[in-house]
Structure 1
Amino acid sequence: MNVGTKIALAVAAAAVCVASAIGVLVHSVTAADQLATARSDLDRRLMSAAYDYSVGRTSAARVDPPDLPAAMERDVRRGLRVTYLQDDGARPRLWAATRVSDRNVLALSRSYAPEVRSLAALDRALAAVGGAATVVVSLAGLLLGVRMGRRATAAARTAERIADGDLDARVAPDGRDEIARLAAAVNAMADALGARLEAERRVTADIAHELRTPVAGMATAVGLLPPSRATDLVKGSVSKLRALVEDVLEVARMDARAVTPETERRQVSAMARRAVAALEGVEVRVGEDTVVTTDPRRVERVLANLAANALRHGAPPVLLKVEGPVVRVRDHGPGFPPDLLAVLRTSGPQRFRTTAPGTGTGTGLGLTIAVGQARLLSADLVFHNRPEGGAEAVLRLPDESGTNRPADH
């Protein structure tokens, strides 16, 4: 149930309560006033009838009527002048009685049905007016709730777009209430986030560019060293450093959206085999093959990063299974840690994220680049742990129409 519906229901409930309370109050006051007026009028008539009785004139009053209510008769016998409403449902009667001698009681009665009908008509009028007022107020509450709900939904959708990476999304300002403040806060958050990410991207790109030249020089210098174990160690370290610098530059280019896929038609199985050709311990199985239009270099980069991550953090055997436009990368290790899996399913991998403080293990840039490249390709990349054990990444490439569906787990 959205906010607009809740507001509309709350306003409707408040309108019903107010209308009911007013109706009950008016009914009670009117009923009491009617009864008091009728009692007073009948009592005056009784006093007039008692005077007529005392001087021997006839009147509408009766002496010792047999249908006099028992509760009323006891009070009259004690010398009290009493008025009493006898409500027997269909024929209510109002009585007035007084003692005129030691043995006789003079009583006067009349039907109370006119007052009952009048009160019933008043109740119907109150119900009609209250119902109409409730409908009008409820409609006003519904309009208000729908408007507020739409504004809140617009702010939420904009925040979701910002979370998905659309930092240009903004909420149109409307009004000066709390929702307007929320919209302004979302816009301010987007501005701050965009500025922070832009600063981070620039620092990352600047550092990578500054490192590229000295690393290239180091690689050239290492090639001039005489063969030895120390030289091999240095070559390996320089190679890793050079690959890291290239990865950082790739991330910076994707952050700046300065890359454009170069698409062509390629067979999925061929791209899968090329991606893992340089990796040992990775098996490629083709269940169903197909041809897709995509950027083969970026697809191979995604699959290579996923397979390398499975080899580094999982356990062999690592399997790439081609199922049409879907490629599954599966290992037989302990699977993704729960906290990492939650991050992968929401905001995406965090750069150089470690699985636990002080462990020195984590995702590095491999998964970051894989997710970024998949996004550029309009492909779907999801991560999960298999019930029988092991981690699995599922890449679904767009079909020939340029669309894709969520990857099945």
Structure 2
Amino acid sequence: MRGKLALSVAAVGALVAAVIGVLVHDQTSATQLDTARRDLDAGLLAAVADYERMIDGGVLVNPPDLPDALRDAIETQPVRATFLDRAGEDPVLWAALRERPAAAPPADGVTTSGGGSAEGPATVLAVRQSYLPQTEALGALNRTLWGAGLIATGLGSLLGLLLATVGGRRIAGSARTAQRIAQGDLAARVRPRGRDEIARMAAAVNTMADALQVRLEAERRITADIAHELRTPVAGLVTAAELLPPGRPTELVRDRARTLRRLVEDVLEVARLDTAGVEQAEFECCRTSGLARQAVAACADQLPEAAGGEAITLTVVADAEVRTDPRRVARVLANLLSNALRHGGVPVELEVDGTVLRVRDHGPGFPAELLAQGPQRFRTAARERGRGTGLGLTIVAGQARLLGARVHRANPATGGAVTELRLPDGSDCARPNAASGPDAPPGGVAAAGRPGRVPRPATGPPPGVAPPRP
């Protein structure tokens, strides 16, 4: 846009400069020629007067190089005429008249036919002067006009670029704010400046954001209220299901009741994450390898049916110390692993590479809509990746935001889906070599850089780790 606007202003400036230059050139040329004609005509009259008084005033009598056009003009009409001859190397301005002398007196005893008197031959009197000074002056004016036009075009281009830059920055700022709003930052607003169209567009973006925020807040509040109201009866339903006699129908009822309870808990967690100031992270120094093992143990215990008899592969390429909330990191990793087990394809790989924790499956990959827009609640992935509520990845995004971490999703060329969790480093930890959380490798986990199989533990998830959701 900036280039187009600058080119437009430059083109308009060049056009205006060209029009003004042509007008100035034509007017100056006409004025020069008229002035030179008048001066030369006055000189012709003075030279003719001197000629009649037999004084050499510089008049040319019957000049042989008189232009034919000028000769024809003075022969057809008894007038004085001027003519600019550009045929030669240098332009020459001519002024001429045709003088008919008085009739000579007849000789003694000689009469003219018809009783008249005989006239002498007509005489052409002319003066000329070089028109080269005027031509050179006009050429200098043309060069000046060209220079002024180029300067005006350059200044116009700079002015257009400046205006386009200022306007482009304002539009780009509005676009960035709109993008932040689309990504979920409902507090983002544009600062309108001035009263032009861009300011009105910025005000419209703010109005749209206000309306969107009010509507989303109402929807979130209703969802949280419904989940809160369902929490007590669902807890009673789970308790009642535990009292049923053993059997296949009882197991189905218990499984569905637990699923409903997890759904209610996930909705409440999303509501808390959406409310500023409700959730607070408790940071401490810990090792990324310990966080990974903790999450693998929780996921393997919570989703035995999804693993289908396959364990999760854990690879520690490089261990690192980070300052984060171990409970929330375990929650994020457990959701990513369960999402990969439920919707991707085995084997599921968890790789620890310093402060980067990478989860990969071998399924159909993330849908393009998820990669472009990010996770959205109650909107699951593509049909080929299975069914779900879409809350698991939403919780991942919210927890990562609290931790100051970054989540990146991609579909590698070799297939499957990869999610990277990049944690802040632990450079401010008081004890660089200290680690919190379980750091000793469990049975079956290989040393750093060497993959191993993690069997399902006999115990449940570590304390503080909520059940994962896809």
**TM-score (norm: length of structure 2):** 0.73
What secondary structure does 2:235 align onto? helix
1:223 and 2:242 matched: yes
Q: Provide the aligned C-alpha RMSD in A.
A: 3.4
Identity of aligned residues (%): 57
**Corresponding position of 2:418:** 392
1:200 and 2:230 matched: no
What secondary structure does 1:108 align onto? strand
Decide which of 12, 15, 18 is 1:14's aligned counterpart: 12
CA drift of 1:377 comes to 1.0
- Counterpart CA distance in 1 for 2:347 and 2:157 is 65
Decide which of 235, 239, 263 is 2:254's aligned counterpart: 235
What secondary structure does 1:335 align onto? coil
Stretch of structure 1 that moved more, 38-47 or 350-359: 350-359
**Corresponding position of 2:445:** none
Decide which of 355, 360, 375 is 1:325's aligned counterpart: 355
What amino acid sits opposite 1:330 in the alignment? R
What amino acid sits opposite 1:376 in the alignment? L
**Corresponding position of 1:106:** 125
Cα distance change, pair 226–377 in 1 and its aligned pair in 2 (3 A)? same
CA drift of 1:189 comes to 1.6
Matches within 5 A, 1:1-400: 2=2, 7=5, 10-46=8-44, 49=47, 58-69=56-67, 72=69, 75=72, 79=76, 83-87=82-86, 91-99=90-98, 105-120=124-139, 122-123=141-142, 145=164, 147-257=166-276, 258-277=278-297, 278-279=299-300, 280=307, 281=310, 282-343=312-373, 348-355=374-381, 361=387, 364-400=390-426
Cα distance change, pair 180–23 in 1 and its aligned pair in 2 (3 A)? same
Checking the alignment, whether the CA contact within 8 Å between 1:266 and 1:294 is kept in structure 2 is yes
- Counterpart CA distance in 1 for 2:144 and 2:255 is 93
Stretch of structure 1 that moved more, 191-200 or 79-88: 79-88
Checking the alignment, whether the CA contact within 8 Å between 2:70 and 2:82 is kept in structure 1 is no
Cα distance change, pair 174–338 in 1 and its aligned pair in 2 (3 A)? closer
Deviations 1:262-284 (A, max 9, x none): 12222212211221224233211
CA drift of 1:171 comes to 2.7
- Counterpart CA distance in 2 for 1:247 and 1:193 is 23
5+ residue gaps, structure 2: 101-120, 301-306, 429-470
- Counterpart CA distance in 1 for 2:427 and 2:69 is 93
**Corresponding position of 2:441:** none
Deviations 1:371-408 (A, max 9, x none): 11111111111111111111111111111247xxxxxx
Stretch of structure 1 that moved more, 178-187 or 358-367: 358-367
Larger RCO of the pair (alpha carbons < 8 Å, separation 6+): 2
Count the aligned residue pairs. 395
CA drift of 1:60 comes to 2.1
What secondary structure does 1:271 align onto? helix
Checking the alignment, whether the CA contact within 8 Å between 1:349 and 1:363 is kept in structure 2 is no
Stretch of structure 1 that moved more, 265-274 or 221-230: 265-274
CA drift of 1:237 comes to 0.3
Checking the alignment, whether the CA contact within 8 Å between 1:79 and 1:98 is kept in structure 2 is no
Cα distance change, pair 88–266 in 1 and its aligned pair in 2 (3 A)? farther
- Counterpart CA distance in 2 for 1:117 and 1:82 is 24
What secondary structure does 2:421 align onto? strand
Cα distance change, pair 358–385 in 1 and its aligned pair in 2 (3 A)? closer
CA drift of 1:88 comes to 7.1
CA drift of 1:320 comes to 0.7
Stretch of structure 1 that moved more, 269-278 or 204-213: 269-278
What secondary structure does 1:60 align onto? coil
Stretch of structure 1 that moved more, 363-372 or 80-89: 80-89
Checking the alignment, whether the CA contact within 8 Å between 1:12 and 1:137 is kept in structure 2 is yes
Checking the alignment, whether the CA contact within 8 Å between 1:72 and 1:82 is kept in structure 2 is no
**TM-score (norm: length of structure 1):** 0.83
What secondary structure does 1:276 align onto? helix
CA drift of 1:151 comes to 3.5
Deviations 1:224-244 (A, max 9, x none): 111111100000000111111
- Counterpart CA distance in 2 for 1:100 and 1:363 is 113
5+ residue gaps, structure 1: 403-409
Cα distance change, pair 64–87 in 1 and its aligned pair in 2 (3 A)? same
CA drift of 1:112 comes to 1.9
Deviations 1:186-233 (A, max 9, x none): 211221122122112211210110111110000010111111111000
- Counterpart CA distance in 1 for 2:293 and 2:88 is 93
What amino acid sits opposite 2:399 in the alignment? Q
Task: Report the structure number with the largest CA radius of gyration.
Answer: 2
- Counterpart CA distance in 2 for 1:221 and 1:170 is 50
Deviations 1:127-167 (A, max 9, x none): 67767877877776666555544443443343344344433
CA drift of 1:96 comes to 2.5
- Counterpart CA distance in 2 for 1:44 and 1:228 is 131
What amino acid sits opposite 2:330 in the alignment? E
Deviations 1:83-114 (A, max 9, x none): 33234798432123455577864332112234
